[in-house]
Amino acid sequence: MSIEILLQTVAVGFSCQSLSCVTKKVSCLIDKISGRVNDKGALLFALFILLAGGSRARQHRKEDFIIRGKQVAVFGRNIFTDRNLSFEPNLDIPTPENYVLGSGDELIIDVWGTSENTVREIISPEGTIHVAGIGPIFLDGMSIQDAERSLRREFSKIYAAISGKSVHIKLSLGGIRTIMINVMGEVQVPGTYRLSAFASVFHALYRAGGVSGIGSLRDIRVVRGGKEVACIDVYDYIMKGKLTDDIRLSEGDVILIPPYENLVSISGKVKRPMAYEMKKGETITTLLSYAGGFTGDAYRDAIRLFRLNGKEKQIYNVGQDDYQSFVLTDGDELSVEAVLQRFSNKVEVRGAVYRAGVYQLDDSITGTVRQLIGRAEGLRGDAFLNRALLRREHEDLTHEMIPVDLKRMMAGAVSDLRLQKNDVLYISSVKDIEKEGTLSIYGDIRNPGDFPYVKNTSIQDLIVKAGGLLESASMVRIDVSRRIRDPKSISSSTVIGKSFTVELKNGLVMGEDKGFELEPYDIVFIRRSPGYRKQANVTVEGEVAFTGNYTLIQSNERLSSLIARAGGLSKEAYVKGARLIRRMTADEMRQKKDVLRLSVRGSEKASVSPVTLEASSTYPVGIELEKALVNPGSDEDMVLREGDVLFVPKYVSTVTINGAVMYPNTILYQKGSSLSYYIEQAGGFGNRALKRRVYVIYMNGMVSRLKRRMGNAIEPGCEIIVPSKKGRKKTVAADVTGMNTSIASIAAMVAAMVGMTK
């Protein structure tokens, strides 16, 4: 592998910032040199240098933006480092007539006219091409025009007519040679590069990765044959689009990048706040043109400049008249401030005018309060005229509040008030000064709540706004409460409110009487009519003539009346087994849950499932329907309430024995048989049976204690329950106290519930 190919490989890596760029360029390069590289080790070594060099190049690029410890971008340096920009020579162009031929160029010589021929030759290292019948022709260093004249002379030796006008000769490039140039000085990757003969200085800088952190963009020199042939300023290209100095390179050219001479920065209100390289003698005016000029909110009359002066810094406030003459030096920092957020001719009006806002202070248009109001298209109808306020700012930035009698001023009764800079006129609305208040309505109304107060609102008007009365509302009793307002009172009073009772004689129909007029913050209560009742339904099931739901006709309707309305009992009805299921009220439900919680608290269980605390919404009520039917209106003839379910069963000829017996069982009822008989039919008492605590639950919901020899107490369909003994537990004083408290609470609640069921 030749040293030229190795250097070219390394140069590719230095000019790339990303791995994808390196990979792409290396792949292309390997394709080009694959036929010429036999030593794989040398190629791997080149790639190693490529990656290491690329890493160092990226580190240098970071330094491009560090100036005196601050990270500031330097204008123009990114055009040679940004991979989105491409500086590659265009090879698809006609052959330039001023192109200088050299070794390696492939030439195409076309002869046409009386004689025709085409010759393709490559200029040899000696600078010649060989043409059959002519021999070597020296073309190295000639331009295309000079080469065509030389070829015409030489070709005339074999083409007699070529010296005339009937035969033409044309020279063009079939392949372009590469040249070796050197990029030295302050660039990211200095070294030797092989480029196309069409390449210019910009192409070489792009391949070298751009200038380094201290490299100059404005003094790039091209040395050819020991002489300086060009000096390039990149800013001319960036700012003006001029490429006249970007000359085409030749074999052996050296591009020198010296360090920058002056680097200054500008911040604040300019369009491109960044660092700029300045030539000697350039002024603030030039810097502003590089920075794109001022922004719209920039303070243009002066620029603050910080300059290093020996051991310390100095500040200069440069006026606008000196921008063109103030010469910048290396290290200068300029700051362009924003205009002050103050106005020299502003007045403002706020509040109850049609066009509130800021206005120009003009003695002929807005010089007075009345003129300013006129400029704002006048006062609104809700303007509070008795007192406006004018806030005035003094020279020491303190403020003064000046009261204005707008009512008299607008009428001309008092003189108009002249305005000053930054005056603010406040005109309040009547709604702000005197709050309108609210009206509230509750009770049997469709949309209860609060409503804005409107003058002359009557009770009927408020009812309409609230959606109208419910069917349960009373028309003869509507209460209105009113707050007491006495702003001149000097002592408190025991009276805290007023109350009025109103009757809607004509309902909501309008008549001569406008109705009771409400005041702000009145509260209206629509009472429920005492004669209003919703249907209260009960249910009858079982052995009656007509089962189903029945609406209670009277509030004290009883069992006997319900049976009569249901067509009486059927022949198969077992009256003694009739039972009643009652739905709990909300208050009963709450009390039952409290009883369950207290029971759980005194329980031996460490934890109780939440399901245990769920109380059923219904409960059985023990009744004696037989006595109720015999003595209507008696205590046994229970008063019904909404939701009650009365069930009259058929005759049941069995008795069920459950609890602490050997074999819980259901057996046929034997009239007159004692408790002992039924216990024996269940296998006798269990080991933990409480024999003296046996009780019976009848079909009608009644419960009774039983003794062993009792027989008459057992009826068809009943259930005998034998309780079991519980394991004994040592009781300590704290447990006794807790149990007594729980028992007392439960007893009180049970007593209350029993009272509700009567």
Could you read off the pLDDT of 690-709 as tens digits, one per residue?
A: 988 999 999 988 999 887 66
Strand partners, 108: 120, 172
> Residue 390: CA atoms inside 13 Å, Cβ hemisphere, count?
21
Strand partners, 390: 402, 425
Give the pLDDT mean for 4-14.
Answer: 44
551-598 pLDDT per residue, tens: 999 989 999 999 999 999 999 999 999 999 999 888 888 888 887 777
Give the whole-angstrom CA distance, residue 673 versus residue 517: 81
**Which CATH number is 654-757 given?**
3.10.560
- Tell me the two tokens of residue 676: 């002992």
pLDDT at site 141: 80
Q: Are 371 and 365 contacting, i.e. CB atoms less than 8 angstroms apart? A: yes
pLDDT at site 546: 95
169-212 pLDDT per residue, tens: 788 777 777 889 999 999 999 999 988 888 889 889 988 988 99
In the predicted model, is pLDDT for residue 472 greater than 90?
yes
Burial-class residue 717 by CB neighbours within 10 Å (0-12, 13-18, 19+).
buried
Residue 34 — pLDDT band, cuts 50, 70, 90?
A: very low
User: What stretches of 62-177 adopt beta strand conformation (E)?
Assistant: 66-67, 70-71, 106-113, 117-122, 128-131, 135-138, 167-175
pLDDT at site 55: 42
Residue 108 — pLDDT band, cuts 50, 70, 90?
A: confident
Q: Crossing angle, helix 3-14 and helix 40-63, to 10 degrees? A: 30
- Per DSSP, the three-state class of 208 is coil
In this structure, which amino acid lies at residue 618?
T
**Closest to 212 measured CA to CA, from 82, 15, 12, 77:** 77
Q: Are 630 and 542 contacting, i.e. CB atoms less than 8 angstroms apart? A: no
pLDDT at site 48: 44
100-174 has CATH 3.30.360.10 classification:
no
pLDDT at site 166: 61
Enumerate residues 6+ apart whose C-beta is below 8 A from 546: 540, 566, 567
pLDDT at site 597: 77
Give the pLDDT mean for 453-472.
Answer: 92
pLDDT at site 40: 46
Residue 18 — pLDDT band, cuts 50, 70, 90?
A: very low
pLDDT at site 121: 82
Give the whole-angstrom CA distance, residue 587 versus residue 600: 20
**Closest to 37 measured CA to CA, from 51, 52, 50, 26:** 26
pLDDT at site 14: 44
Dihedral-angle region of residue 351 (phi above 0 means left; psi in -120 to 50 means alpha; beta otherwise): left
The fold adopted by the segment(s) 438-485+495-528 is Outer membrane lipoprotein wza fold like (3.10.560)
Q: Which CATH number, 3.30.470.20, 3.40.640.10, 3.30.56.10, 3.10.560.10, labels domain 262-336? A: 3.10.560.10
Task: Report the residue count for the chain.
Answer: 758
Give the whole-angstrom CA distance, residue 708 versus residue 245: 132
pLDDT at site 60: 41
User: Which position has the higher pLDDT, 5 or 469?
Assistant: 469
Residue 364 — pLDDT band, cuts 50, 70, 90?
A: confident
Give the whole-angstrom CA distance, residue 506 versus residue 510: 8
Q: Are 424 and 353 contacting, i.e. CB atoms less than 8 angstroms apart? A: no
Q: Are 478 and 502 contacting, i.e. CB atoms less than 8 angstroms apart? A: yes
Residue 159 — pLDDT band, cuts 50, 70, 90?
A: low
pLDDT at site 57: 42
| CA dist 215 → 17, 53, 77, 188, 210 (Å) | 18, 19, 9, 9, 9
In the predicted model, is pLDDT for residue 370 greater than 60?
yes
Within a 10 A sphere around the Cβ of 199, how many other Cβ atoms?
A: 23
- Tell me the two tokens of residue 414: 């008092």
Burial-class residue 405 by CB neighbours within 10 Å (0-12, 13-18, 19+).
middle
User: What stretches of 555-659 adopt beta strand conformation (E)?
Assistant: 579-583, 618-621, 645-648, 654-659
User: Which position has the higher pLDDT, 584 or 12?
Assistant: 584
**Closest to 233 measured CA to CA, from 308, 178, 286, 180:** 286
pLDDT at site 585: 86
pLDDT at site 68: 52
**Closest to 553 measured CA to CA, from 562, 541, 564:** 562
In this structure, which amino acid lies at residue 729?
K
Residue 615 — pLDDT band, cuts 50, 70, 90?
A: low
Give the pLDDT mean for 498-514.
Answer: 75
Tell me the pLDDT of the chain averaged across its residues: 82
User: Which position has the higher pLDDT, 58 or 79?
Assistant: 79
269-328 pLDDT per residue, tens: 999 999 999 999 999 999 999 999 999 999 999 999 999 888 889 999 999 999 999 999
Give the pLDDT mean for 722-733.
Answer: 71
Strand partners, 548: 540
pLDDT at site 429: 93
**Closest to 75 measured CA to CA, from 216, 245, 187:** 216
Give the whole-angstrom CA distance, residue 643 versus residue 640: 9
Lowest pLDDT segment from 6-10, 352-356, 360-364, 713-717: 6-10
User: Which position has the higher pLDDT, 753 or 463?
Assistant: 463
User: Which position has the higher pLDDT, 408 or 22?
Assistant: 408
Give the whole-angstrom CA distance, residue 622 versus residue 702: 5
User: What stretches of 566-605 adopt beta strand conformation (E)?
Assistant: 579-583
pLDDT at site 53: 43
The fold adopted by the segment(s) 178-257 is Outer membrane lipoprotein wza fold like (3.10.560)
Give the pLDDT mean for 46-54.
Answer: 44
**Closest to 558 measured CA to CA, from 477, 646, 470, 493:** 646
Lowest pLDDT segment from 1-15, 337-351, 593-607: 1-15
Residue 80 — pLDDT band, cuts 50, 70, 90?
A: confident
Residue 43 — pLDDT band, cuts 50, 70, 90?
A: very low
pLDDT at site 254: 95
- Per DSSP, the three-state class of 492 is coil
In this structure, which amino acid lies at residue 394?
H
- Per DSSP, the three-state class of 22 is helix
Within a 10 A sphere around the Cβ of 105, how many other Cβ atoms?
A: 21
Q: What percent of the chain has pLDDT over 70?
A: 79
In the predicted model, is pLDDT for residue 22 greater than 70?
no
- Per DSSP, the three-state class of 289 is helix
Q: Crossing angle, helix 19-33 and helix 40-63, to 10 degrees? A: 150
Burial-class residue 589 by CB neighbours within 10 Å (0-12, 13-18, 19+).
middle
> How wide is the angle at C-alpha 153 spanned by C-alphas 151 and 154, nearest 5°?
65
In the predicted model, is pLDDT for residue 23 greater than 70?
no
Alpha-carbon 695 to chain mean position? 70
**DSSP state for residue 338 in the 8-state scheme:** B
* End-to-end CA separation in angstroms for the chain: 117
Residue 78 — pLDDT band, cuts 50, 70, 90?
A: confident
- Which architecture does CATH list for 536-593+615-648? Roll (3.10)
Give the whole-angstrom CA distance, residue 497 versus residue 486: 12
User: What's the alpha-carbon Rg for the chain, to the nearest Å?
Assistant: 56
CA dihedral of residues 201, 203, 206, 212 (deg, nearest 10): -10
Q: Are 140 and 102 contacting, i.e. CB atoms less than 8 angstroms apart? A: yes
Residues of the chain with CATH 3.10.560.10: 178-257, 262-336, 346-433, 438-485+495-528, 536-593+615-648
The fold adopted by the segment(s) 346-433 is Outer membrane lipoprotein wza fold like (3.10.560)
pLDDT at site 17: 42
Give the whole-angstrom CA distance, residue 441 versus residue 470: 13
Residue 50 — pLDDT band, cuts 50, 70, 90?
A: very low
247-270 burial, b for 16+ CB within 10 Å, e for fewer?
A: ebbbeebbbbbeebebbbbbbbbb
pLDDT at site 177: 79
